[in-house]
């Protein structure tokens, strides 16, 4: 195939061999003409579900083990009263699969109609094979479906939406199942109050589908950012191949190499420095003002950080959604769980213009605009009767 630029308005021209001549006129077609028919329409979020594991870790449980950790002070500082904790034999993939099955229960789509599955997690079942490939089998998705993992945390849901939009609007898929799940509890030392009071486990599933295009995109634009120099501020140092130590977890102490470490003040400062610019970049790219946004739905880090961020953005509380009380910080699953909660409370309705903001481990940040559709939402709760 040969490409050239045609005179006049910029247009890529593809010179195709005769046997690939789709137009029958000498083998010329615009590149967008070749692929555009496949990508007619736009990507939209049409269903959301989440799954919460059965075990609850209450502030009172933490206070019973560590009397210096008073329940009311934990809640006052974090806004969190309880977190869900995965069982010893329960992985992030299990939580994601349960969320996906809930989604198939509430949405008019079957596993056989999924073209692609994307799993965002930092707690895969194995280093290899890819956990999304295992989920293709466990969920009964077609063998023609694509599958891959994204290793991202707090910004992962927004990144995942960007990937889904790209797959759909380039004609590679019609229906993408986006799964976000993490089990940070398995990386946390039981005596590390800096992180044990904050993080919980959960999984979420989102269906992103091709829908007829209209004047405004249902998802987008996107803005991303990365500062890998800050990676050491939120890290499990001995978790990969860079620093294999062979040290026993029992002897490592709360800050041993196999446990999650978070430099809280540094992550706090990072958030307040990058997110306001991210918001302004998104508004500029969308040709919107802050007043045009019906609701900001940020990564649900903890109430203290989010309140400081809300004040820095000068956003009214009623347009800045925070709901960490009963689940804590579930990393890549926080934004979809927050969306489900806000919809269930009637705070988000069809037509609302939402701003989604992810920020944290990496250090990584991402934001997008989302026009809320008439989407099905549901919660799978393993602790429910």
List, in sequence order, every beta strand (DSSP E) within the chain.
2-5, 12-15, 28-30, 42-52, 55-58, 82-85, 116-120, 146-150, 175-182, 202-211, 219-226, 234-235, 261-262, 295-298, 353-360, 364-371, 376-381
Q: Is 329 a catalytic residue?
A: yes
CA dist., res. 270 & res. 225, Å (int): 12
| CA–CA gap between residue 227 and residue 246 (Å, rounded) | 29
Cα separation, 277 vs 225, in Å, equals 10
Largest CA distance in the chain: 81
Neighbours of 89 (CB within 10 A): 6
Phi-psi sector, 236: left (phi>0), alpha (psi -120 to 50), beta: beta
Q: How many CB atoms lie within 10 A of CB 37?
A: 10
C-alpha 184/C-alpha 86 separation (Å) is: 9
Among 59, 120, 189, 299, the one annotated catalytic: 299
Q: Please give the Cα distance from 62 to 197 (Å, whole number).
A: 8
Closest CA to 102 of 310, 381, 385: 381
- Selected catalytic residue, list 154, 164, 189, 302: 154
Of the residues 59, 164, 189, 329, only one is catalytic, namely 329
The H-assigned helical ranges of the chain are: 31-36, 59-65, 71-78, 92-106, 131-138, 156-169, 193-196, 249-252, 264-286, 303-313, 334-344
Distance CA 199, CA 119 (A): 20
Radius of gyration over every alpha carbon of the chain, rounded to an integer in angstroms: 22
CB-side exposure of 326: number of CA atoms within 13 Å?
8
- Of 366, 358, 368, 354, the C-alpha closest to 329 is 358
- For helices 131-138 and 92-106, the axis angle rounded to 10 degrees is 40
Enzyme catalytic residues: 154, 299, 329
């Amino acid at each position: 195939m040969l490409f050239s630029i045609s005179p006049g308005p910029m247009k890529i021209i593809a010179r195709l061999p005769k046997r690939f001549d789709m137009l029958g006129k000498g083998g010329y077609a615009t590149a967008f003409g070749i692929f555009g028919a496949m990508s007619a329409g736009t990507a939209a979020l049409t269903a959301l579900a989440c799954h919460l594991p059965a075990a609850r870790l209450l502030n009172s449980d933490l206070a019973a083990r560590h009397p210096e950790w008073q329940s009311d002070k934990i809640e006052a500082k974090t806004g969190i009263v309880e977190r869900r904790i995965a069982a010893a034999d329960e992985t992030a993939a299990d939580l994601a699969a349960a969320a996906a099955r809930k989604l198939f229960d509430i949405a008019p789509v079957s596993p056989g109609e999924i073209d692609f599955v994307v799993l965002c997690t930092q707690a895969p079942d194995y280093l290899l094979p890819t956990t999304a490939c295992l989920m293709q089998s466990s969920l009964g998705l077609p063998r023609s479906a694509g599958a891959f993992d994204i290793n991202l945390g707090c910004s992962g849901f927004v990144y995942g939406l960007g990937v889904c939009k790209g797959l759909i609007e380039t004609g590679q898929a019609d229906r993408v199942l986006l799964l976000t799940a993490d089990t940070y509890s398995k990386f946390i030392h039981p005596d590390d109050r800096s992180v044990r009071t904050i993080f919980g486990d959960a999984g979420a599933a989102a269906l992103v589908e091709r829908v007829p295009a209209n004047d405004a995109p249902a998802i987008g634009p996107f803005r991303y950012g990365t500062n890998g120099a800050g990676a050491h501020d939120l890290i499990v140092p001995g978790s990969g191949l860079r620093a294999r130590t062979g040290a026993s977890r029992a002897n490592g102490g709360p800050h041993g190499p196999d446990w999650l470490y978070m430099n809280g003040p540094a992550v706090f400062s990072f958030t307040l420095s990058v997110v306001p610019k991210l918001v302004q970049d998104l508004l500029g790219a969308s040709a919107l003002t802050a007043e045009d946004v019906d609701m900001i739905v940020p990564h649900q880090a903890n109430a203290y950080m989010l309140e400081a961020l809300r004040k820095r953005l000068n956003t009214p509380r009623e347009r800045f959604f925070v709901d960490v009380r009963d689940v804590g910080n579930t990393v890549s699953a926080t934004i979809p769980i927050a969306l489900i909660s806000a919809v269930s409370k009637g705070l988000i309705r069809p037509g609302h213009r939402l701003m989604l903001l992810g920020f944290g481990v990496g250090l990584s940040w991402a934001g997008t605009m989302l026009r809320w559709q008439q989407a099905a939402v549901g919660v799978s709760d393993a602790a429910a009767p």
